[in-house]
Structure 1
């Protein structure tokens, strides 16, 4: 096991991904994230069923997407470097964003996920990316619908209405919401920028 994981409480896997993720996050003092991940997994499964996609893969991606919450923002750049992850300037300036890449590595290393589609979706769930897959968009949208704050997302109606048209429309609804506020954001991640221009042309 990689040394960066030695500080974590890691239990023997049961084979039930949702239970394993929940237990892992609770044992590592992230109970709110545990609840969020379960909600996102279930929402991703619902969206996948709606669009005739792989429900199990969507649920697993949702359960896994925020497992890197066990590492605080202050540690994420160092964690990323130890895991061999490329750190972009925008991520160095705002380390919260790189948690998607760390979660991808942890899904592979700690939870034995080998499905590249699931790993890739986890790895871009915050920003999306260009040439995104259906699973990427399902997880991206599910995470925004079941966001990790106490109140209702201010963009929820736009996303749910656009979901009636397509996954592309729903994903773009959120990215457009952010894009309109880009001058006030800490950073604009290049993957988000790429996804914005690509989806803008598609929808």
Structure 2
């Protein structure tokens, strides 16, 4: 599947119309961060940009609509998603990309669908978008020095570090990580 300028523009306009202004600005930063990370880690930069741009297109929709969309991807809901349906926004976005924009690239769809909780055996593009979402320059901890340190690591080691930060953040708030995130953590820890 080719990522054409026309497709990118259609999804960009859709994102701008569906997302709140701050979220849209975040999506643009995730797209740029993903593009850069793809160039660092040997993945297709345009696929990275596109997946980053599209990752939150369903974040600001009604949770019932989100749940309905996500139900079409063939995966059941995990306990974390049942407790907090907003976590389904990536899965819903992947369904919208496939249904409304004819996106068939499995790496892009996985990157968008799994950017929130992750899962085991994610492709490199999905790992990149997962991390880019959490370290884009608009995040409070994300200084240039912080990103440079992360980007000096092999991909799985960098993603492992990002997951650890996320797990520590949740723990500090009295929450636990999803079994999907723990599975993701184990999958990147084994190859570091």
Q: What's the TM-score, normalizing by structure 1?
A: 0.79
Q: How many residues align?
A: 188
1:41 counterpart = 2:26: no
What corresponds to 1:176 in structure 2?
A: 164
Higher relative contact order, chain-length normalized (CA < 8 Å, sep 6+): 2
Any residues of structure 2 matched to 1:1-203 within 5 Å, and which?
Answer: 16-28=6-18, 30-73=20-63, 75-81=65-71, 86-146=76-136, 152-153=140-141, 160-183=148-171, 184=173, 186-203=175-192
2:148 and 2:93 map into 1 onto residues whose CA distance is 26
Q: Is the 8 A contact 1:66 1:100 kept in 2?
A: yes
1:60 and 1:185 map into 2 onto residues whose CA distance is 34
1:142 and 1:197 map into 2 onto residues whose CA distance is 19
Q: Is the 8 A contact 2:167 2:176 kept in 1?
A: no
1:132-164 C-alpha deviation (Å, 9 max, x unpaired): 1111111112111227xx652369865541320
Q: Is the 8 A contact 2:19 2:60 kept in 1?
A: yes
1:71-114 C-alpha deviation (Å, 9 max, x unpaired): 13465334434676522221010112111111111111112111
1:17-58 C-alpha deviation (Å, 9 max, x unpaired): 442223213333533322222221121111111122111111
Q: What's the TM-score, normalizing by structure 2?
A: 0.83
RMSD (CA atoms): 2.7
Distance 1:181 1:106, change over 3 A: same
Distance 1:94 1:142, change over 3 A: same
